[in-house]
Chains A and B, each alone.
Chain A
């Protein structure tokens, strides 16, 4: 269902399903972007960021970007743009309370890393409820804003666990160095999120993130508790799960689509991680 909703307080919600689309845009407000089925590719300067149903992207106010959907199957995209006053009220009501300042040192931050974040947990529950309710005809703006407020709470928590806590794990005493290394590690992560289905070489990954291979391996492990290779394998398995659950592609097709080289190693890794075989998982999910 396609709709574009602008609330009285100027928060905007957009949902559309397309197979082909190319846009050049500039964000008016802080925006969350989701691809609820299929994928959409964003280009921010030289960076290419591809989002899938297990990830989302944030764009700060005033970011120029292009977005592209080019798919044989319909891609459903959903986005929320927050009015600046709503964000200020959120910061005053939620982030500036003493307890949340103690719990949440990123509370006062207003400019966030424009990168790909995992779409799961409370954020996923709340966005799904919001979307379902709008599609059932919800008009009550107070309730819609309640969902939007909670999505911001969820985003703050994701930011804290994905960026802040991980950068704190880096073994550099200088904060500026930690922030810069984290930015580069995020671009390595983005590269894997976007190119997970291709043959990702460590040298390319290091070059993309402006780190030497050794430096990348060491700092990536410090921040994410796994090597880039382990991270990529987990991502491929996760995307394979999405395909097993949401499509009818054969296991062999899925193996190729998520970038594994042979079905036997895919099945072994899948079994190790999820304690079940891909076929059994598909049957259970049906």
Chain B
């Protein structure tokens, strides 16, 4: 068993697609219907996100952690697409990480894991 799709709740599919496509560089895939709920599938480096509208207004939020080979470079590139980061990259025991939000309250972390035990 493996993880197939990661749901991300948005207020409006069209705006959500625009954010993921234009700012994060995801590619748009099919629409999937599951239990009468529509999911817009978006792909980024082999991982599939499933954008869906929170019909129940339950305030559901998602936190996605992106892997980065070079956090400073990705931070800089994402900033130039118009993403407002909550903080500049921070040094953590696990590596370097920067956080940003979308317009729907979902949280994203750009994480470059660093092995400090290596030479």
**A143 at the binding interface (Cβ < 8 Å):** yes
B96 at the interface (CB under 8 A from A): yes
CB-based contact A129/B73 at 8 Å: yes
Within 8 A of B (CB), among A83-131: 120-122, 125-126, 129
**Interface secondary structure of A, over-half rule:** helix
> Which of B70, B89, B91, B114 has the most chain A CB within a 10 Å cutoff?
B70
> Residue among B73, B91, B96, B116 with the most chain A CB within 10 A?
B73
- Which residues in B have their C-beta under 8 angstroms from that of A143? 72-73, 76
Min Cβ gap A104→B in Å is 12
- Size of B's binding interface in residues, CB under 8 A: 12
Contacts of A2 in B (CB 8 A): none
Whether B91 contacts A126 by the Cβ 8 Å rule is no
B-chain residues with CB within 8 Å of residue A120 when the two chains form the complex = 116, 119
Q: Note all chain A residues with C-beta closer than 8 A to B112.
A: 125
Residues in B whose Cβ lies below 8 Å from that of A157? 91
In the complex, the answer to whether A129 meets B76 with C-beta atoms within 8 Å is: no
Residue A150 contacts which of B89, B114, B116, B119 (CB distance < 8 angstroms)?
Answer: B89
Knowing A122-B91, A122-B114, A150-B89, say if A129 contacts B119 (CB, 8 Å).
Answer: no
Least Cβ distance of B28 to chain A in Å?
A: 28
Pairwise interchain contact A121-B73, C-beta atoms closer than 8 A: no
Neighbouring A residues of B119 by C-beta, 8 Å: 54, 120, 238, 241-242, 245
A146 in contact with B116 (CB, 8 Å) = no
- How many Å lie between the Cα of A133 and that of B116 in the bound state? 21
Q: A54-B119, A120-B119, A121-B116 are in contact. Are A126 and B76 (CB under 8 A)?
A: no
Interface size on A, residues (CB 8 A): 20
A159 contacts chain B at the CB level, 8 A cutoff: no
Find the B residue at minimum CB distance from A238: B119
> Please, which residues of chain A bring their CB within 8 A of the CB of B75?
146
A242, B75: Cα distance in complex, Å: 32
Q: Contacts A122-B91, A150-B89 hold; do A129 and B116 have CB atoms under 8 A apart?
A: no
> With the chains together, A241 CA to B119 CA distance in Å?
9
Task: State the Cβ distance, B105 to closest chain A Cβ, in Å.
Answer: 26
- Looking at the assembled complex, report how far the CB atom of B78 sits from the nearest CB atom of chain A, in whole angstroms: 12
How far does the Cβ of B117 sit from chain A's closest Cβ, in whole Å? 10
**Is A147 on the interface with B (CB-CB < 8 A)?**
yes
User: Which residues of B (45-78) have their CB < 8 Å from a CB of A?
Assistant: 70, 72-73, 75-76
Cβ–Cβ contact A147 & B72, under 8 A: yes
Q: Which residues of A contact B96 (CB under 8 A)?
A: 122, 125
A sample of 13 cross-chain residue pairs with beta-carbon separation below 8 angstroms, ordered by A number, consists of A126-B72, A129-B73, A133-B70, A143-B72, A143-B73, A143-B76, A146-B75, A150-B72, A150-B89, A153-B91, A157-B91, A238-B119, A245-B119
- Give A contacts to B, CB under 8 Å: 54, 120-122, 125-126, 129, 133, 140, 142-143, 146-147, 150, 153, 157, 238, 241-242, 245
Interchain residue pairs A-B with the least CB separation, the first 7 = A143-B76, A129-B70, A146-B72, A125-B114, A146-B76, A121-B116, A122-B91
